Amino acid sequence: MRFEKFNDIYNLTSKISYSKIPGSIGGSPAGILSRGPRGAWLRMLITQKHKYALRAVFELAKHRDGGQIKLADIADNQAIPLRFLEVIMAQLKGSGLVASKRGCHGGYSLLIRPEQITVGTIFRFIDDRRRQDRCDACIAREGCPLYDNCAFRPMWDRVCSAIYGVYDETTIQDLLDNEKIAPIRP
């Protein structure tokens, strides 16, 4: 199954005892692990912007054969605040993944087939990592003072590579297929 790597990473990190590490907050190193439900354990994993962008592309893929879909419909169907969605869709237009058409019959549509778009592609475009000294594990995030001499960076780079390995092998079509087979909750 495609998500085994993610579950392995989650299971491995959930067994680590951070409470004995100086500077830990709530049992996790400051700035590395975040509070929240399963899947939100690494701050570097995904932001709300990542989630919204993924859900927007997912919604466009669901309506691929139906033509254009209005921004308000995407926002309603995926519970995304319209103001955030406007910004995200403007950014996604620059990626070549989506197109927009003005007018009363206008809206947004996918330019690429869902099986050709990976979650990793969307996330990398949203990340827009131009700075080489950006550190996913550091509180500073950008301009890390220890970047060139950090003992932990190679480990966090491997974790990030493993996570993006899952993102890169998961297509929007996979997510559409998951929705079709997911049980309906009462």
Domains and CATH numbers, the chain: 46-181 (1.10.10.10)
Contact 123, 109 (CB under 8 A): no
pLDDT tens digits, residue range 77-115?
A: 999 999 999 999 999 998 889 999 888 888 999 999 999
Report residue 140's pLDDT band, with 50, 70 and 90 as the boundaries. Answer: low
Contact 31, 60 (CB under 8 A): no
Residue 24 pLDDT > 50, yes or no?
A: no
The pLDDT value given to residue 117: 96
Least Cα distance to 57 among 156, 157, 173 occurs for 173
Report residue 27's pLDDT band, with 50, 70 and 90 as the boundaries. Answer: very low
Report residue 72's pLDDT band, with 50, 70 and 90 as the boundaries. Answer: very high
CA distance 170 to 166: 6
The pLDDT value given to residue 38: 40
The pLDDT value given to residue 148: 74
Average pLDDT of the chain is 75
Question: Residue 107, Cβ neighbours under 10 Å: how many?
Answer: 21
Q: Which residues contact 19 (CB under 8 A, 6 or more apart)?
A: 27
Instruction: Please tell me whether residue 128 adopts helix, strand or coil conformation.
Output: coil
The pLDDT value given to residue 153: 78
The pLDDT value given to residue 143: 67
Question: Residue 166, Cβ neighbours under 10 Å: how many?
Answer: 19
Largest CA distance in the chain: 60
The pLDDT value given to residue 151: 82
Contact 98, 108 (CB under 8 A): yes
Residue written as token pair 């890390």: 144
